[in-house]
A = this chain, B = another copy of it.
Amino acid sequence: MKEPSTSVGSPPVPAFLMKLWALLEDPSNSDVITWSWNGQNFCILDEQRFSKEILPKYFKHNNLSSFIRQLNMYGFRKVMSLESGLLKSDHGSCIEFQHPFFKKGKAELLENIKRKMSTVKSEDPHLTQEDLQKVVTELKDMKEVQSDMDTKLENMRR
């Protein structure tokens, strides 16, 4: 079995991805979370047991939302099955995720998965309130000028 490595020479695979991989490789978890039938996606079969039993064994929390935040951070996308739209029974709480470089048996692809950068926003030159305030100030100045001019005109007419 090929295992993901953090050896020298290759960029290290973040802990989250290593844990996610280990989690799916452990057969004792397979009734709660497992690879999809074709190994292309993975599926959380029992949301409740996953968050309360599995998560704390691998992470510092037991919140599914935190786990999903990490998945999105690494570029995973939710797979929308037709069943997911139904409200009916509760046996269909299958949460499925996918990533182009996260495939069963392809541990060597893991290093291609990159965490999204923490956007240190470079101050978009978009429209700020300052810009609008400048315009408003100019308008006010122009109004004064117009008022002065109108006064002058009336004076001249007389």
A residues with CB within 8 A of B: 6, 8, 12, 15, 18-19, 22, 48, 52, 56-62, 65, 79-80, 82, 85-88, 90, 93, 100, 118-122, 124-129, 131-132, 135-136, 138-139, 142-143, 145-146, 149-150, 152-153, 156-157
Smallest CB gap from A99: residue in B: B8
B146 touches A142 (CB 8 A): yes
B126 touches A18 (CB 8 A): no
> Of A65, A82, A124, which is in contact with the most chain B CB atoms at under 10 Å from its CB?
A124
Q: What is the copy number of this chain in the assembly? A: 3
Give the distance to chain B from A75, nearest Cβ to Cβ, in Å: 11
> Of A90, A129, A146, which is in contact with the most chain B CB atoms at under 10 Å from its CB?
A129
B60 touches A60 (CB 8 A): yes
Give the distance to chain B from A150, nearest Cβ to Cβ, in Å: 6
A119 touches B119 (CB 8 A): no
* Cα–Cα distance between A149 and B143 once the two chains are bound (Å): 13
* Cα–Cα distance between A32 and B18 once the two chains are bound (Å): 28
